[in-house]
């Protein structure tokens, strides 16, 4: 019996292999990743989230430190002259008190003129550094942020209560900071004495 020749169509084989490959691809897509792979991916994602949160926290902390150091530096520069001014307060007070007195002689008047010149020069130099003199006037309302009461004086009128009756020493500020409040006297209302009147007509 003669052998029959078997013919194989290469195109058909390739077509079948392509179909099998597509079937496997579809099967893999349907199955997706395994549970173990999914857990690894989830863990990696969580680690990335933690690292990102830590990085953001570190960046925020660094920014806060930078802002705080910048603010501290600006404050230090703003009030850098305070210690010098505080050391000069007693000298300024001495000049202020000396200039309040009348000069009885020509020589004393010359001294007073010299004191006044030095006093003005000191105030001008300190003013260039940001110092402001607090000079309340008699009759001004008492301000607890800039004035310090050293004595209370009685008054008859209620409208004068809590007003300045005398300025003893000037106060001083460095820009917006009070170095020392002004020393003042203020008025308080005089307590009225209760007069007990007895009428001869109202006899028990």
Instruction: Say which residues have a Cβ less than 8 Å from residue 177's Cβ, sequence separation at least 6.
Output: 79, 82
Reported as a single tens digit per residue, the pLDDT across 69-125 is 888 888 888 888 899 899 999 999 999 998 988 888 989 899 899 999 999 999 999
Q: Phi first, then psi: give them for residue 35, nearest 5 degrees.
A: -60, -40
Reported as a single tens digit per residue, the pLDDT across 158-172 is 899 999 999 999 999
CATH entry, 82-189, from 1.10.3720.10, 2.30.22.10, 3.40.50.300, 3.30.9.10:
2.30.22.10
Confidence tier at 52 by pLDDT (50, 70, 90)? confident
Q: How many CA atoms lie within 13 A of 188 on its CB side?
A: 7
Confidence tier at 8 by pLDDT (50, 70, 90)? very low
pTM (predicted TM-score): 0.62
What is the spatial distance between Cα 22 and Cα 31, in angstroms, rounded to a whole number?
Answer: 14
Longest dimension (CA), the chain: 171
Are 187 and 162 in contact by the 8 Å Cβ rule? The answer is yes
DSSP per residue over the chain, as a string? -PPPPPP--HHHHHHHHHHHHHHHHHHHHHH-S-HHHHHHHHHHHHHHHHHHHHHHHHHHHHHHHHHHHHHHHHHHHHTTTHHHHHHHHHHHHHHHHHHHS---SHHHHHHHHHHHHHHHHHHHHHHHTTEEEE---TTPBP-TTTEEEEEEEEES-GGGTTBEEEEEE-EEEETTEEEEPEEEEEEEEPPPP------TT---
pLDDT at position 195 is 45
For the chain, give the percent of residues with pLDDT over 90. Answer: 42
Average the pLDDT over 20-39 and give the result: 62
């Amino acid at each position: 019996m003669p052998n029959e020749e078997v013919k194989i169509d290469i195109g058909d084989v390739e077509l079948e292999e392509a179909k099998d490959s597509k079937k496997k691809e579809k099967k893999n897509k349907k199955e997706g990743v395994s549970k173990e792979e999914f857990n690894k991916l989830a863990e990696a994602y969580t680690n990335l989230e933690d690292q990102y949160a830590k990085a953001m926290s570190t960046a925020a902390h660094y920014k806060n430190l930078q802002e705080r150091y910048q603010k501290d530096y600006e404050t230090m520069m703003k009030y850098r002259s305070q210690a010098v001014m505080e050391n000069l307060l007693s000298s300024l007070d001495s000049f202020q008190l000396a200039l309040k007195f009348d000069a009885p002689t020509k020589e004393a008047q010359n001294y007073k003129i010299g004191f006044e010149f030095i006093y003005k020069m000191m105030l001008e130099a300190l003013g260039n550094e940001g110092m402001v003199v607090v000079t309340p006037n008699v009759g001004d309302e008492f301000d607890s942020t800039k004035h310090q009461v050293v004595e209370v004086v009685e008054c008859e009128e209620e409208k004068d209560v809590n007003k300045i009756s005398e300025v003893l020493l000037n106060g001083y500020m460095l820009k917006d900071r009070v170095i020392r409040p002004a020393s003042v006297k203020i008025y308080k209302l005089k307590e009225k004495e209760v007069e007990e009147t007895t009428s001869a007509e109202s006899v028990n």
